Amino acid sequence: MIETTKQEIERRFNEQQEYFRSGKTLGYQARKSLLKTLKAAIKKHESKLIEALNKDLGKSEFEAYSNEIGILYKEINHSLKHLRRSMRPRNITPDLHLLPGSARIQKEPYGVTLIIAPWNYPVQLQLSPLIGAFAAGNTAILKPSELSSATAQSLTDMVKDCFDPKALCVINGGIETTSSLLGLPVDYIFFTGSVPVGKIVMKAASKRLTPITLELGGKSPVFVTPSAKLDTAAKRIAWGKYNNTGQTCVAPDYALVHRSVYDEFVDKLKKTVALFYGTNPLQSPDYGRIINQRHFDRLAEMMTPELALFGGERDRESLFIAPTAYGPVDWSHPLMADEIFGPLLPILIYDDLDQAIKEVPNRPKPLALYVFSQDKQEIKKIDRSISFGGGGINCTVLHVASTKLPFGGVGSSGMGHYHGESSFQVFSHTKSMLKQPTLLDLGLAYPHKRISLKMVKRVLR
């Protein structure tokens, strides 16, 4: 991977800063045009991007289109449809003590934004925040993951082909490059990636108090309660977990299954996996690969053959790890230490829901949480007792596919939200303006003619 030189990075940043300050990205037409160009660019380079996703992660065309490309078109359409309304300033009647006067809330772009992406959904997670950045009137520097190098190259080609680098450019490289980027006085940093690197980004941003969004990861549980429809639970959990070979930030990391349905659930999950990927998933065109040997080795270390319920086959050369489940696993097992981020599902048995619920907050706040249950009281109890980024009832992963649901983490799973209108909001500063008439100057707070404290206390109480 080529590391872009520091001089080149600075040159790119300076030209974007100058361009932004010229006001060329501010107007409605300019923003609309950038969004339309983005859609046209993705369309033009669609087959190359899909090819690259297959090369990097073994993604099938179906998976690449539905999880990465199609979702971007939907987001761009939504953004274009609501752009005028999102940009419109909101007139406000000021509080009584500030009358006579008028007030306005205006959304203002930050300026030059830096969007750092991970390798697991390298197209979607790079370009989805960009939609918000453009809609809000910013310029953007993209930093793809060096691990998904074919996709990084395709994105670079696409941007070079379709955009003026003053509005959008791609900087490629590894840690050194990202560190140089983080040293720039950019106006906003949008980072998607791991918790440890999120901390590095936050530390770097703190030097200039640069505002940031952190879209991180964590261990996301899925509850399967006695009232769950087990056929549906098995299918939806298998899909959420083994899609993209488990390398999904919102994949169910582990399952908490009530003892009374454990055997039946495991049996149905096993059958579902065979239905989805055949008895030899190595041959399945619908089953992907681990990103690289480092991550393969990390996962291989966690594999626990003595607890295998199914799966367990692996091949380092082809970066293949079969869809695998382990159980019953207990809370102290190494699989329960960190985010797994691979096709290994530990299944824990619980007897008492209250006890199971208590265990989750002993760990960092999850990015997602799912409940499979037909019992409203159980669902409510789980939802109210545990803090997590977002999630689903009787479904997995799908909440991220909505333009109407803000997506983001909480606590160590991240800060800030995007998707749909939230993408516009996250890349905009909220600027409040109060206008006072000049014909009349009551001066009620001026030292020489102010009103009595008694009067103030009557109004401000």
**Can you give the binding site for ligand NAD, defined by CB under 6 A?**
116-120, 125, 143, 145-146, 174-175, 178-179, 192-194, 197, 200, 215-217, 249, 339, 341, 367, 409, 414
Q: Of residues 63, 68, 215, 378, which has the active-site annotation?
A: 215
Cβ-based nearer residue to ligand NAD, 160 or 199: 199
3-class secondary structure, 92: strand
DSSP 151-204: HHHHHHHHHHHH--TTTEEE---SHHHHHHHHTS--SEEEEES-HHHHHHHHHH
Shorter beta-carbon distance to ligand NAD: residue 189 or 307: 189
Q: Rounded to an integer, what distance in angstroms lies between the CA atom of residue 75 and that of residue 91? A: 27
Closest approach, Cβ 339 to ligand NAD, in A, equals: 5
Q: Pick the closest to residue 405 from 381, 430, 423 (CA basis).
A: 423
CB of 17 or CB of 247, closer to ligand NAD: 247
Cβ-based nearer residue to ligand NAD, 202 or 303: 202
- CA distances to 20, 32, 34, 142, 423 from 29, rounded to whole Å, are 15, 5, 9, 23, 19
CB of 312 vs ligand NAD, minimal distance in Å: 23
Measured from the CB of residue 454, what is the shortest distance to ligand NAD in angstroms? 53
Shortest Å distance, C-beta 11 to ligand NAD: 21
Give min distance, CB of 95 to ligand NAD, in A.
38
Of 200 and 393, which has the nearer Cβ to ligand NAD? 200
Residues 6+ apart with CB under 8 A from 104: 89, 90, 91, 92, 432, 433, 435
Q: Which of 256/290 has CB closer to ligand NAD?
A: 290
3-state secondary structure (DSSP) of residue 142: strand
Is 169 among the catalytic positions?
no
DSSP state of 120: S
Contact yes or no for 231/268 (Cβ under 8 A): yes
Work out how close the CB of 31 gets to ligand NAD at its nearest, in angstroms, rounded to a whole number: 24
Q: Which residues, at least 6 apart from 207, have a Cβ–Cβ distance to it below 8 Å?
A: none
**In terms of DSSP bridges, do strands 254-258 and 344-350 run parallel, antiparallel, or are they unpaired?**
parallel
The CB-of-14 to ligand NAD minimum distance in angstroms stands at 22
Residue 160 neighbours by CB distance under 10 Å:
12
Task: Give 152 or 230: the residue with its C-beta nearer to ligand NAD.
Answer: 152
CA atoms of 452 and 439, how far apart (whole Å): 24
- Identified catalytic residue from 63, 249, 339, 421: 249
Q: Positive or negative, the Cα torsion across 227, 232, 238, 244? A: negative
**Complex with ligand NAD: residue 137 or 366, whichever CB lies closer:** 366
Distance CA 87, CA 397 (A): 30
Residue 388 CB, nearest distance to ligand NAD (Å)? 12
Do the Cβ atoms of 144 and 117 come closer than 8 Å?
yes
DSSP 301-343: HH--GGGEEE---EETTTTEE--EEE-S--TTSGGGTS---SS
| Active-site residue, 75 included | no
455, containing H or E segment = helix 453-459
| CB neighbour burial string for 110-123, b if at least 16 within 10 angstroms, e if fewer | bbbbbbbbbbbbbb
Residues designated as active site:
215, 249
